[in-house]
Amino acid sequence: MKLAIIGDRGIPARYSGFSTLIEQMATRMVNEYGFEVTIYCRSSYYEHRPKYYNGVRCVYLPAPGGKSLESIIHSNLSILHATFCSYDVVLVLDPGNGPFVLPLRIRGFPILMHTDGMGWKRQKWSAFQQKYYKWSEKITAWLSHWLVTDSKAMQQYYVDEYLTDSSFIPYAGEVGDGADDSILQEYGLEKNAYYLCCARIEPDNNIDLIIREYRLSNSDKPLIVVGDARYDTAYGRAVAAEDDESVRCIGGVYDKEKLNALFSHSYAYLHGHEVGGTNPSLLNAMHRSAAPVAMDVVFHREVMTDEGLFFSKEPNQLASIIRKLEQDGSIVTRLKELAKQRSDAYYRWDAVVDGYVKVVSILKDCYKDKQTLRDRLVQEVYQPLEFNSKSEP
């Protein structure tokens, strides 16, 4: 099976949940399932550009154009390159790339598209860009042979909006090979004595709201803000200006084991993402037994279940939650236990990769027959409980 993956920055993963997904998926497909996988990488993100990474073939292409056009230009270059290659299936990430897959269809490749979240709602985009991303969802549903959605809510959204079925396959929480506690000493932190926020510095991740509410709580535990902005923006500068002894904006942490340690030893993890489906940072925090407190949106309730703890944008609500967490440590203990149990039972890389293997294999054989695809793939291809039973003693 020859699979090409187009639409992200590349591997090894550094910047996004998509990158973590394709690294885990591609390396496991190669080493556990015998696939031949090619990933198209943005050359500007990698100083060293080996031809293979853990058995996965990497093709490096330029990505000019800045924040607005970088992704689209690189994806178009990748699509043109792929058109002259031989693949059994092409996986394209992000519906923003959907309008450009026609050369792949003409070439006769089965096209699998990952829908991501509702990109048209992101505040960083202009009104024109938001309209483009909304329009591109419709085109993606039309031009792709099949879709993958990473949350049940997004799966239903594509049915309601575009009468289009998809296979639900989420992410998983495990990243890296453990935890490197040296980062605590690096930043002068004590275990279970700080709050953590980990996100790209973008408006729809509500970092400004989290900082404001944290300050209102008058907590004496510092808030550690992990994340950077790829491009210079007024929002990014405003968040950076909040840096002081209480709110510590430490930028991006790309060492997986150090980031794991920050999750593991936080008193609570504050998660403000409101756009998109299943969020990898939230899953990573849950896997490391962090106590998650998340923005109250349908995607996070799906991940954490209604037993989780959620906040809205209402003034003083998150501040009140922080005060309660400090007054009653048993709440934190309960959240940690629930998060770890949920992550271990339901968000597993072995089940995620198995789901993609099923979809890719069926798509290769049946992509010309939409009804057969629907009959075989609208069923549950993601079966984590099967892997739970295999891993039990």
Residue among 278, 245, 269 at smallest CA distance from 117: 278
> In this predicted structure, what is the pLDDT of residue 15?
62
Same domain, residue pair 236 and 112:
no
> In this predicted structure, what is the pLDDT of residue 128?
78
Q: How far apart are CA 165 and CA 156, in angstroms?
A: 8
Same domain, residue pair 129 and 145:
yes
Domain CATH number, residue 97: 3.40.50.2000
Quick one: angle between helices 349-366 and 17-33, nearest 10? 70
Same domain, residue pair 188 and 331:
yes
Same domain, residue pair 339 and 202:
yes
Report residue 188 as tokens.
């002068």
Predicted TM-score (pTM) of the model is 0.91
* Structure confidence by residue, pLDDT tens digits, 208-237: 999 999 999 999 999 999 998 766 788 999
**Residue 61: CB atoms within 10 Å:** 19
User: What is residue 260's three-state secondary structure?
Assistant: helix
Q: How far is CA 141 from the centre of its chain?
A: 21
How do the pLDDT tens digits run along the chain, 393 residues long?
A: 999 999 999 998 866 677 889 999 999 999 999 999 999 999 988 889 999 999 999 999 998 877 668 889 999 999 999 999 999 999 999 898 999 999 999 999 999 999 986 665 676 767 877 888 888 899 999 999 999 999 999 999 999 999 999 999 999 988 888 899 999 999 999 999 999 999 989 899 999 999 999 999 999 999 999 998 766 788 999 999 999 999 999 998 988 899 999 999 999 999 999 887 899 899 999 999 999 999 999 999 999 999 899 999 999 999 999 999 999 999 999 999 999 999 999 999 999 999 999 999 999 999 988 888 888 988 789 999 888 765 554
- The domain boundary, picked from 346, 361, 376, lies at 346
Q: How far apart are CA 49 and CA 58, in angstroms?
A: 8
Q: Confirm whether 69 is domain-assigned.
A: yes
**Residue 232: CB atoms within 10 Å:** 8
Same domain, residue pair 336 and 355:
no
User: What is residue 224's three-state secondary structure?
Assistant: strand
Same domain, residue pair 126 and 197:
no
CA within 13 Å, CB half, 192? 8
Q: Confirm whether 153 is domain-assigned.
A: yes
**What is the rounded (10 degree) CA torsion for 190, 196, 202, 206?**
-140
Same domain, residue pair 104 and 199:
no
Q: How far apart are CA 249 and CA 200, in angstroms?
A: 12
> In this predicted structure, what is the pLDDT of residue 378?
82
Same domain, residue pair 130 and 207:
no
Helices (H) and strands (E) in the chain, counts: 16, 14
Quick one: angle between helices 317-327 and 329-346, nearest 10? 100
Q: Confirm whether 105 is domain-assigned.
A: yes
Q: Confirm whether 186 is domain-assigned.
A: yes
> In this predicted structure, what is the pLDDT of residue 133?
83
> In this predicted structure, what is the pLDDT of residue 117?
65
Note whether 310 and 300 are within 8 A (CB). Answer: yes
How many domains does the chain contain in total? 2
Same domain, residue pair 166 and 187:
no
- Tell me which residue has tokens 């096209």: 111
Same domain, residue pair 190 and 296:
yes
Expressed as residue numbers, the domain containing 131 is 2-172+348-391
Q: How far apart are CA 217 and CA 316, in angstroms?
A: 8
Same domain, residue pair 333 and 357:
no
Q: How far apart are CA 236 and CA 145, in angstroms?
A: 38
Same domain, residue pair 207 and 77:
no
Q: Give first-to-last CA distance, the chain, whole Å.
A: 33
Q: What's the whole-number average pLDDT of the chain? A: 91
Report residue 291 as tokens.
């106590």
Q: Confirm whether 177 is domain-assigned.
A: no
